Amino acid sequence: MDQPVSPLAPTTVIEPAPVPGVRLATRACGVRYQGRTDVLLALFDPGTTVAGVLTQSVTRSAPVEWCARGLADGRARALVVNAGNANTFTGLRGTSSVENIATAAAATAGCAPGEVFVSSTGTIGEFLPDARITLPLPEMAAEARADGWVAAARAIMTTDTYPKTATAETHIGGVPVRLSGIAKGSGMIAPDMATMLAYVATDAALPADVLRALLGPAADASFNSITVDGDTSTSDTLLLFATGQAGHAPVTGPDDPALAAFRTALNGLLLDLAHQVVRDGEGASRFVELRVTGAESDRAARRIGLAIGNSPLVKTAIAGADANWGRIVMAVGKAGERADRDRLAIRIGGVPVCADGLAVPGYDEAPVAAHMKGRDILIEVDVGIGQGSATVWTCDLTHGYIDINADYRS
């Protein structure tokens, strides 16, 4: 838990701007950790809508099941997140704990329990001491204020080595709109989506169905395109709240041209947060961008990218600054998608390494080896079949990952 800050961390932590209609509070409740904040309460003004993307795990946690029901209604007034205990694999008692938290938060916020969203992250299989969370909620609500996003990001950290925040100002129909968000996650990170929690709020006025239509593709191109270890958490939750206080004209639907800038800002903000998660990958020493082109479809390209990004042999080669493109060929081969071995082309750091199924004639490894020694690695792979493309981000696999996971009880 006292890991040094990742060498890939952003040099500064951004303090996101307040979002009208959102108030935040954090507290050291001693759920598991001592001497640090571990519970976040976010309160949303009446009229707030919500959309979300949840883990596809079949052993998903009680809080995730609770959120799934709330998302069907699409209305939100409060969010409660604790770190240190995932309330996963805790049976009926786990479900009761979620209900206790939602009921208590609802009483505090003056809303229905179904308008309260609950997340828990940390150790699996231990009962959640929910009274440690519910009892302080009224005091936390009284203290809640519009700023404090970095504090919120800190309160939900587990093996994270730095808080992850992002903020953006955009507009809808010429009216300024704010987006601010936080994320956590550094291991058990893979699509669908891995112990990854992310919460984004905006003051845009968007019905839940519009939020859903915007969030799905944005999540696919960000949180569902990153991987640290290929492991999928039982708890991943991405929620997007819209308080509706920006004062812009109503939108007609998800395809309203007035949403173009907002869509771009949302995509960028989620990608920013997702990259921060990869940059905090357990033990990571290099950040890797994998661009796959020439696949049968965009979906096939993403699967190929993830096969490369999840390959232990590719990831250890990158850790060793080894431009071992043979392992990339291997990973393409196992992805389960079409690829033409004899048209396959790979570039590393922009330098052609192989093409047409062969090492590039006169290939000079020196500039590639120099690139591999850097912090940011770019690998481009064209599989020679079609027009599908995707970009995936990952990190290397180092001794640090073993150090962290051979003794952390998560």
Just list the catalytic residues: 195
Considering only 26, 90, 119, 186, the residue that binds its own copies (CB under 8 A) is 90
Name the segment binding its own copies (CB under 8 A); options: 104-112, 260-268, 355-363, 368-376.
355-363
Q: Is 406 in the site for its own copies (CB under 8 A)?
A: yes
Q: In 3D, which of 382, 224, 220, 352 has the Cα closest to residue 292?
A: 382
Name the segment binding its own copies (CB under 8 A); options: 30-38, 46-54, 143-151, 186-194.
186-194
Q: Is 326 in the site for its own copies (CB under 8 A)?
A: yes
Q: Is 60 in the site for its own copies (CB under 8 A)?
A: yes
Name the segment binding its own copies (CB under 8 A); options: 68-76, 83-91, 163-171, 287-295.
83-91
405 is in an annotated binding site: yes
Task: Phi first, then psi: give them for residue 192, nearest 5 degrees.
Answer: 75, 40
The Cα–Cα gap between 245 and 203 comes to: 5
Tell me the C-alpha to C-alpha distance, in Å, between residue 198 and each of 119, 121, 215, 348, 388: 10, 12, 12, 31, 28
Between 267 and 316, CB nearer to its own copies: 316
The distance of closest approach from Cβ of residue 12 to its own copies in the complex, given in angstroms and rounded to an integer, is: 31
Q: Is 3 in the site for its own copies (CB under 8 A)?
A: no
Between 159 and 167, CB nearer to its own copies: 159
8 within 8 A of 319, measured Cβ to Cβ: no
Who's near 196: CB < 8 A, 6+ residues apart? 183, 184, 185, 189, 223, 233, 236, 237, 238, 277
Q: Is 341 in the site for its own copies (CB under 8 A)?
A: yes
Give binding residues for substrate as ranges.
158, 184, 195, 282, 405, 410
Site for its own copies, rule CB under 8 A: 55-60, 86, 88-91, 93, 123-126, 187-188, 190, 192, 229-234, 310-313, 316-317, 319-320, 322, 324-327, 329-335, 337-339, 341-342, 344, 354, 356-359, 397-399, 401-402, 405-407, 409-410
